[in-house]
A and B are shown apart, each in its own frame.
Chain A
């Protein structure tokens, strides 16, 4: 097992526990992701991209098999310890209760604060820099439910950055972004993978961006999940199916 291996899925079955029996979306998954990896997850709708990301950070329990982060089974890690290792950006919208964009980003520092969630100088600096990196300085004091979908997406990405984790999971973070912001986001993620040695998994339907910026592509289809370097993945039949012949 390589030392720089960050995420390992061992014979994992991912899906949902229903009373009528488990529904496996992906089965017999064996994958390894390393530090510095910037992986684009490509797949048609409903093939299990979100399920995969949520399973890796423990939001959905595995049906069988195991997920290891830093060579430790996530079931053996406390939630607090896991929160310092992996941050996720989801597609759901949250808001109300006077929550501002700043409040959401500040929540990223919760794993590092005490039981009264008091923010000190070092916390504030991290929050500031995450806001800066995502370019939402001018919107930070707006209520989140008044933000556009794109600005909201930048806010939750900033929250994930503020969590200061070596692993970042992003579920369709570019869906609502404008053209320039999409590229800026992927550039930022690429930089974080290269310079800060983060391991980043991003699911996206923007295949051109994935081809341009990622170093690996995880192809998810009914056949399972296949992790390939970008050049190889681009030539594969699965990728061509996902692209529908348009890419």
Chain B
């Protein structure tokens, strides 16, 4: 690896560590130096610790999912949120909360959570496949984004209908969840979230070469010996797993998946996807950890929604890229 890249990676790791400290010690819910030691211990281990871990996993999974989608669609603006994939997962979760309550699935914690995760993954897989089918008919990157937008509107409308007919209990649980939050998870949730996320991310190591080949488009990828259809299926599956998983545990989180791979390409100026896989993991962590710290420190004793901050960072970046029209 070139020495410039080593320096860049070291800075990213350092920022990641600073982000963890900020999130753990300035992460809201009263200062840790409270008089009562046992209550401060509780806040640290039961509230801040799971939130910091959630930020790390959510940031890295969404960023990597975004990277896969951008390469697969050869569209530098793609991402789980802008293509409506997060919304598909959201709708599926809303449906599953209804069904789950109706069939009393949530009396058992693991069955209930697994059911929601499975629904979210299925929802994101379905939307990804639909978007992919449409993308074959159109060549314009911008039109694809508009179609993604329409998908999320449709999913949103269906979700609205569900909410309208929901009883107060259901309504509250997924209105809050739908805002996107890093603080919904307990340490028990992490027992499912973390291992599955690590497994899916690790599986991507098998796809370093296909990801590099896909940059050349379907025909050239096939001609250098990469099975386009097979690899595309697995990549869709993994990105849906990553998006669905994080949406199930944190709700839809905006723009991280789009912004982080763009930032990674700007920082490293490289086309090597194994490098971007690692840097997206790190930048995703940094972005969400710092966003979380910002949410909790901008206004005293108020915790702002995480999507507010990520949108403020992500949306201008997308607009900037559209104007610049440089294919990062």
Which residues on A are within 8 Å of B, measured CB to CB?
54, 57-59, 78-84, 86-88, 90, 92, 94-100, 103-104, 107-108, 110-111, 113, 115-117, 145, 156, 159, 163
Contacts and interface: CB of A to CB of B under 8 A. Distances in A.
B220 A94 contact: yes
Interface residues of B, number: 28
Given A90-B219, A92-B219, A97 B224 contact: no
Interface stretch (B27-35, B98-106, B164-172, B206-214): B206-214
A48 to B, nearest CB: 17
A98 B227 CA distance: 23
Given A90-B219, A107-B212, A98 B225 contact: no
A28 B284 CA distance: 56
B232 interface: no
B111 interface: no
B227 A79 contact: yes
A110 B224 contact: yes
A111 B328 contact: no
Contacts, number: 89
9 contacts: A57-B223, A78-B225, A79-B226, A83-B225, A97-B70, A97-B328, A98-B271, A103-B215, A156-B220
Given A116-B274, A117-B208, A145-B327, A92 B217 contact: yes
Nearest to A60: B219
A110 B74 contact: no
Contacts of B270: 98
Nearest to B214: A97
A242 B227 CA distance: 37
B209 A163 contact: no
Nearest to A80: B225
Given A79-B225, A110-B226, A117-B208, A94 B217 contact: yes
Nearest to A162: B224
A95 B212 contact: no
A82 B225 contact: yes
Contacts of B85: none
A156 B208 CA distance: 22
B220 A107 contact: yes
Contacts of A87: 223
B266 to A, nearest CB: 9
